[in-house]
Amino acid sequence: MKIKDILDSTRTISCEFFPPKTAEGMDAVFRAVDRLKAFRPDFVSVTYGAGGSTRGFTEEIVTRIKTEAELEVMAHQTSIGQTKEEVHNSLARLETAGIENV
């Protein structure tokens, strides 16, 4: 579902996650997702990290939230430090994963 449609229909509750700086921090992100699911947010967003430094984690987090937590998700996307092809490939991977909101 598109987030714009959610925003048009109701007052919303959303959460935003910041990717960890290292892979070791990923477990903490998903523990937080599990705890926050109880509040039934309308959607969650995941930032891209300062200067795109954690962009790979953003893709992994939004994909796992969408498939494992079954929450609507929005991925932040920037083009800092990336070529046009890298941005295109990232967007293609998100689309393949079923991420509709960027």
Active site residues: 16
Question: Cα 84–57–30 angle (5° rounding)?
Answer: 150
* Of the candidates 33, 61, 63, 34, the residue with the CA atom closest to the CA atom of residue 46: 61
CA 35 to chain centre: 17
Report helix, strand or coil for 7.
helix
- Check if the beta carbon of residue 8 is closer than 8 Å to that of residue 14: no
